[in-house]
Chain A
Amino acid sequence: MLKEEAVRLIENDFDSRPDLVRAGLSLLEYLYGSPPEVLKHITFGSLARASGLQSQRDILSIAQYLCGARLRLLDPVWEFIDEDEIESLTVEDVGEAHRTRVFYHPRTGELVEDFDRKFYCFFALSSAVHGAEDPDGD
């Protein structure tokens, strides 16, 4: 997606919140201006620094917006982290776990009682930004 189009969408969709417009435009500078290889693991902390936002709610709102169909610049990425183990999860895995309240440890196959504490979300640059190749390809 062209950056100019993204600017237009943000200015239009957040017109009642000038602070979010500023934050959104700062994020666009970050996402379009950084090399793609440093945007494979974007944390909430990175989004806060890049946007200048301090409110957790506002950061979440902007992140959700940038993951949405209207302006897909970010892909949500989920991980299950248990001590030093990291296992990738799909959005469907996470949805099913929250819906059924049942989650099995990917490595041990055993039930995990308090899985919510071990699910972590971050973001990756969407391919829509630069037409980036799928980083998972072997």
Chain B
Amino acid sequence: MPIPYLDALRARGVPFNAVIGLLREHGLDTAKGWGPLLEKFRKPAPSAEAMARRKAGVRATYLDLVRYGDKALAVFPIDATVVPNLTGVLPTINEPGAHYLKTYPLPLDDRQLNPLDLLPHAVAGDVVGDDEFLELCSKRYYTVRDEIDTADLGDGVRKAFDGYDSLIGVRRGVYQAHDFVVFSKARSSVEVRVDVRRGMTGKDITEAIGHVRAYVNGALKKLIGIDFVLASRQNFFPQIEHLYTEDDGRVACLGHATGTSSIKDERMRRRRDDLREETFHKEGLRALGETNPYKIIKTWEGEFAFSRPGVTIPGHFSLAGDAAASIDYVIIDHCVCRNDFELARSKLY
């Protein structure tokens, strides 16, 4: 039935416009919000054929957004001598007893998920084109900030917060992450693509990548007898300059430190606009001649009018101008299908 897939997308915090865009592409109903959308899908379909189309379209939307939605990407170059040993192996890694298989591809519910640890577990393998996929699921935390209505608090507590305009509560949310490990023979690399969502910090992302890497290295050691197949990672810091100077796409944001002692975090109001064309940015750069970038967000036209794949290289201003600076993951987001993701990835390596 379609409702569990839609509920799962909602729980993942998937961008609503991506869900609506894909449903529309499948010829299905849309709405302005989750509430009215779920109401429409709860109503019976007019025919068995329409119901079958609805189920197929919703499931395809779910699978595409789980696989190609917002991810942090770490790339591990693979030694040429190891490539033949690795070919065909990743998709065979499996754990028949993994908890996540009880409901896969749908997520476990909170009651089933909460007692689990944070380690990843293999749930599926696949070959798509030249890429060999391994899918892993794990429990993952993210930070939620909620505004608390002081009217709901007792008198004493409310008085203690007199003079404050608003009260924000911070709590930990939990969800089931779907991570993917992708071996590309053509690129001699293994990519670790971990699920990301709002409220995850750089530390959370680094930890998630570390867990997946440890899992895969352990499994490959058993299967092909090679230690640390996933060893060093590609450094994406040099790609910031490359992405800025390549004249395709739109630079939506650039973080940079100037020789005149300022730190700039410049961004366009819309992802589809280009900072390189913006007067203040252009004139400033012309006046100085050069600057030291540490962060960039760049976007491109996607497969569909509603998708706009983007790459974020998330540096800190302390890295600006550092010849030895290293950023070992990037964020690829606003993708809704394989072509979107491949487009963004192809801009990196």
Interface residues of B in 1-22 (CB under 8 A from A): 10, 13, 15-17, 19
Q: How far is the CB of A83 from chain B (nearest CB, A)?
A: 9
Interface residues of A in 83-138 (CB under 8 A from B): 86, 88, 104-111, 138
- Residue of A41, A107, A138 with highest tally of chain B CB at under 10 A: A107
Contact B272 A138 (CB under 8 A): yes
Measured CB to CB, the nearest residue on chain A to B250 is A138
Measured CB to CB, the nearest residue on chain A to B32 is A104
For residue A18, CB closer than 8 A to chain B, the reply is no
Interface string of B8-47 (1 = CB under 8 A from A): 0010010111010000000000001111010000000000
Contact B279 A35 (CB under 8 A): yes
Contact B269 A109 (CB under 8 A): no
Knowing A35-B279, A106-B17, A138-B301, the reply to whether A111 touches B33 (Cβ < 8 A) is: yes
Knowing A41-B269, A86-B269, the reply to whether A107 touches B16 (Cβ < 8 A) is: yes
Residues of chain B lying within 8 A (CB to CB) of residue A107: 15-17
Q: How far is the CB of A137 from chain B (nearest CB, A)?
A: 10
Knowing A107-B17, A108-B13, A109-B16, the reply to whether A38 touches B33 (Cβ < 8 A) is: no
Contact B35 A111 (CB under 8 A): yes
Contact A88 B270 (CB under 8 A): yes
Measured CB to CB, the nearest residue on chain B to A122 is B269
Contact B279 A38 (CB under 8 A): yes
For residue A37, CB closer than 8 A to chain B, the reply is yes
Q: How far is the CA of A79 from the CA of B268 in the complex (A)?
A: 14
Residues of chain A lying within 8 A (CB to CB) of residue B19: 109
Measured CB to CB, the nearest residue on chain B to A107 is B15
Q: How far is the CA of A88 from the CA of B271 in the complex (A)?
A: 11
Contact A109 B270 (CB under 8 A): no
Measured CB to CB, the nearest residue on chain A to B268 is A86
Residues of chain A lying within 8 A (CB to CB) of residue B16: 104-109
Chain A interface residue number, banded: 10 to 19
Q: How far is the CB of B250 from chain A (nearest CB, A)?
A: 9
Q: How far is the CB of A46 from chain B (nearest CB, A)?
A: 14
Q: How far is the CA of A129 from the CA of B33 in the complex (A)?
A: 38
Residues of chain A lying within 8 A (CB to CB) of residue B279: 35, 37-38
Contact A110 B33 (CB under 8 A): yes
Contact A79 B17 (CB under 8 A): no
Q: How far is the CB of A108 from chain B (nearest CB, A)?
A: 6
Contact B33 A109 (CB under 8 A): yes
Q: How far is the CA of A108 from the CA of B10 in the complex (A)?
A: 8
Q: How far is the CA of A104 from the CA of B35 in the complex (A)?
A: 9
Q: How far is the CB of B335 from chain A (nearest CB, A)?
A: 15
- Residue of B10, B17, B32, B35 with highest tally of chain A CB at under 10 A: B32
Interface string of B254-273 (1 = CB under 8 A from A): 00000000000000011010
Q: How far is the CA of A88 from the CA of B32 in the complex (A)?
A: 15
- Residue of B13, B33, B37, B270 with highest tally of chain A CB at under 10 A: B33
Q: How far is the CA of A110 from the CA of B32 in the complex (A)?
A: 9
Q: How far is the CA of A100 from the CA of B279 in the complex (A)?
A: 40
Q: How far is the CA of A111 from the CA of B279 in the complex (A)?
A: 37
Interface residues of B in 162-213 (CB under 8 A from A): none
Contact A104 B33 (CB under 8 A): yes
- Write 22 A-B pairs (CB below 8 A) sorted by A numbering: A37-B279, A38-B279, A41-B269, A79-B269, A86-B269, A86-B270, A88-B270, A104-B16, A104-B32, A104-B33, A104-B34, A105-B16, A106-B16, A107-B15, A107-B16, A108-B13, A108-B15, A109-B19, A109-B37, A110-B34, A111-B35, A138-B301
Q: Identify the 9 closest CB pairs spanning chains A and B, nearest first.
A: A104-B33, A109-B16, A109-B34, A104-B32, A109-B33, A86-B269, A107-B15, A37-B279, A108-B16
For the complex with contacts A104-B33, A108-B16, A138-B272, 14 further pairs of A-B residues with Cβ separation under 8 Å are A37-B279, A38-B279, A41-B269, A79-B269, A86-B269, A86-B270, A88-B270, A105-B33, A107-B17, A108-B13, A109-B10, A109-B32, A109-B37, A111-B33
